[in-house]
Copies of this chain bind each other. A is one copy, B any other.
């Protein structure tokens, strides 16, 4: 069965402490830069780069370049499922490991390196598409004239951010829907913080949507019914 070779290859990628560390660090759906993953694994940048390249080539991770950083994330729900299944076995049946699922705390809103992710990030992205403010095109998003106007009215000056990663889409495996990254995504996040629509919770990733935020999101973006 030549199949066993492929199985062994995939499992072998996970079967190395440094790589396992990196994969587990990405387990909550975040995208992390190579350098940080190297630190997680306790190895130097060259070694990490080698590992990450192999993980990407084999389809376990995907990466996007953003400036001089390169963000890696889990490639698909299938990969997440596999990692979870390995964790279940690794934990031994009795102790009954906590699952490799996204923390409920993070499900609603979280930051994905400076921009909004989770259900909130997806909802905002959807709203902007519905309003013809942005148009998705692969992994980039084009901000339409209506979008410039809309965001400007809301207090985000998108006009004078000339840098390359203008507006990108970003998908993590836990939500299978895109949210907005890039400079525009970062600006939206910043504005939400200014308006106190969201506030950072516990650690720096989880976001709490405030009462004002719920009202504002409904009034400005037409977003209703976000899970509590």
A residues at B contact (CB < 8 Å): 1, 3-17, 19-21, 24-25, 59-60, 76, 78-79, 81-93
A78 in complex: contacting residue of B5, B6, B14, B88, CB < 8 Å = B88
B24, A90: Cβ atoms closer than 8 Å: no
CA distance A10 to B21 in the complex (A): 13
If A15-B12, A15-B15 touch, whether A86 touches B20 (CB-CB below 8 Å) is: no
A7, B90: Cβ atoms closer than 8 Å: yes
A86 in complex: contacting residue of B1, B11, B25, B91, CB < 8 Å = B11
Taken together, the copies of this chain in the complex come to: 2
CA distance A116 to B16 in the complex (A): 40
Closest to A82 in B: B85
For A21, the chain B residues whose CB sits under 8 A away are: 1, 4, 8
B8, A11: Cβ atoms closer than 8 Å: no
B89, A60: Cβ atoms closer than 8 Å: yes
A82, B89: Cβ atoms closer than 8 Å: yes
B15, A14: Cβ atoms closer than 8 Å: yes
A93, B81: Cβ atoms closer than 8 Å: no
CA distance A21 to B4 in the complex (A): 5
For A12, the chain B residues whose CB sits under 8 A away are: 11-12, 14-16
Q: How far is the CB of A205 from chain B (nearest CB, A)?
A: 16
A24, B6: Cβ atoms closer than 8 Å: no
A8 in complex: contacting residue of B9, B19, B79, B82, CB < 8 Å = B19
A89 in complex: contacting residue of B16, B79, B93, CB < 8 Å = B79
A24, B7: Cβ atoms closer than 8 Å: yes
B78, A82: Cβ atoms closer than 8 Å: no
Q: How far is the CB of A211 from chain B (nearest CB, A)?
A: 36
A3, B15: Cβ atoms closer than 8 Å: no
B16, A1: Cβ atoms closer than 8 Å: no
Q: How far is the CB of A73 from chain B (nearest CB, A)?
A: 15
CA distance A88 to B85 in the complex (A): 12
Closest to A40 in B: B1
CA distance A87 to B79 in the complex (A): 11
A76, B59: Cβ atoms closer than 8 Å: no
Closest to A1 in B: B24
